Amino acid sequence: MNNSRVLILIICVFIFFIAIGVKLFSIQIMKSEELGYLAEKQQTGIEKINSERGLIYDRNNVLLVYNRNDVSFYLDMRMVSKNEKKKIADKFSSIFGKPASYYSDLMKISGKTICIEKKAPGEKALILKNFKAVGLFYQEDPTRIYHYNNLASHVLGYVSNDFHGVNGIEKSFDQQLRGINGSMYVEKNAIGDMITVAEEQTQAAVPGNNIILTINKSYQSILEEELKTGLQSFGGSSAVGIIMDPNNGEILAMSDQQDFNPNYFWQFSDTVRRNKALTDTYEPGSTFKTITMSALLDQKLCRDDEVINIEHGRYKFNNVFITDSHNGNNTLTVKGIIEQSSNVGMSKLVRRIDDDLYYKYIRGFGFGNCSSLDLPGEAQGTLKNPTGWSPITKAFISFGYELSVTPIQLISAYAAVINGGILYQPQIIKRIMDNKGVILSENTPKQIRSVISRQTSDRMRDYLKGVVERGTGKSAKLDFISVGGKTGTSQKLIDGKYSKSQYNSSFIGFFPVENPQILCLILVNSPEKGKYGGAVAAPIFKEVAEKIAKSNEKFFRSNQPVKQDDHTVLTNNYYSANPDSKITNVSNSSTKTVDNDYALKNNLMPDLSRYSLRDALIVLSKLGLRYKISGSGPVVSQSIIPGARIQKGLTCKISCDGFKLKGALIY
**Is residue 279 within 8 Å of residue 256, measured between CB atoms?**
no
Name the residue type at position 193.
Answer: D
The band of 181, judged by pLDDT with boundaries at 50, 70 and 90, is confident
> How far separated are the first and last CA of the chain, in Å rounded?
121
Task: Give the whole-angstrom CA distance, residue 486 versus residue 465.
Answer: 9
Is 47-152+174-212 a domain of CATH 3.90.1310.10? yes
- The reported pLDDT for the residue numbered 73 is 85
Name the fold adopted by 557-667. Answer: Trypsin Inhibitor V; Chain A (3.30.10)
Question: In this structure, how many other beta carbons lie within 10 angstroms of the beta carbon of residue 498?
Answer: 13
SS3 292: helix
Mean pLDDT of 464-473: 95
Helix (H, G, I), strand (E, B) or coil at 71: strand
Q: How many C-beta atoms lie closer than 10 Å to residue 603's C-beta?
A: 12
pTM beyond cutoff 0.85:
no
Residues 6+ apart with CB under 8 A from 532: 325, 326, 472, 487, 489, 505
- pLDDT higher than 90, residue 195: no
With respect to CATH, is domain 217-551 assigned 3.40.710.10?
yes
Rounded CA separation 396/580 (Å): 56
| pLDDT at 292 exceeding the cut of 80 | yes
Order across the sheet with 113-120: list the strands.
113-120, 71-76, 136-140
Q: How many CA atoms lie within 13 A of 203 on its CB side?
A: 9
Helices vs. strands in the chain: H and E counts, helices first: 21, 27
Is residue 498 predicted with pLDDT exceeding 90?
no
Backbone angles phi and psi of 115, in degrees to 5: -90, 115
Cis-peptide into 539, omega within 30 deg = no
- Residue 31 CA to residue 16 CA, distance in Å, equals 21
Q: What is the mean pLDDT of residues 38-45?
A: 56
Mean pLDDT for the stretch of residues 307-335: 86
Number of other residues whose CB lies within 10 A of the CB of residue 231: 20
Question: Is 35 in contact with 27 (CB distance < 8 Å)?
Answer: yes
Q: Are 399 and 346 in contact (CB under 8 A)?
A: yes
Where b means 16+ CB within 10 Å and e means fewer, 274-305 reads: bbbbbbbbbbbbbbbbbbbbbbbbbbebbeee
CA distance 413 to 426: 10
455 three-state secondary structure: helix
Q: Name the percent of the chain lying above pLDDT 90.
A: 51
Which of 49-53, 79-83, 611-615, 654-658 is the most confident on average? 49-53
CA distances from 350 to 297, 399, 404 (A): 11, 10, 18
Please compute the mean of the pLDDT values over residues 390-399 and round it to a whole number.
95
Cis before 579 (ω within 30): no
Q: Does the pLDDT at position 638 exceed 60?
A: yes
Neighbours of 489 (CB within 10 A): 27
Q: For residue 619, is pLDDT > 70?
A: yes
Predicted local distance difference test score (pLDDT) of residue 201: 66
Q: Parallel, antiparallel, or unpaired: how do β-strands 194-203 and 182-188 relate?
A: antiparallel
Which of 152, 379, 159 has its CA nearest to residue 256?
Answer: 152
Is the CB of residue 391 less than 8 Å from the CB of residue 318?
Answer: yes
Q: Which of 96-100, 318-322, 369-373 has the highest mean pLDDT?
A: 369-373
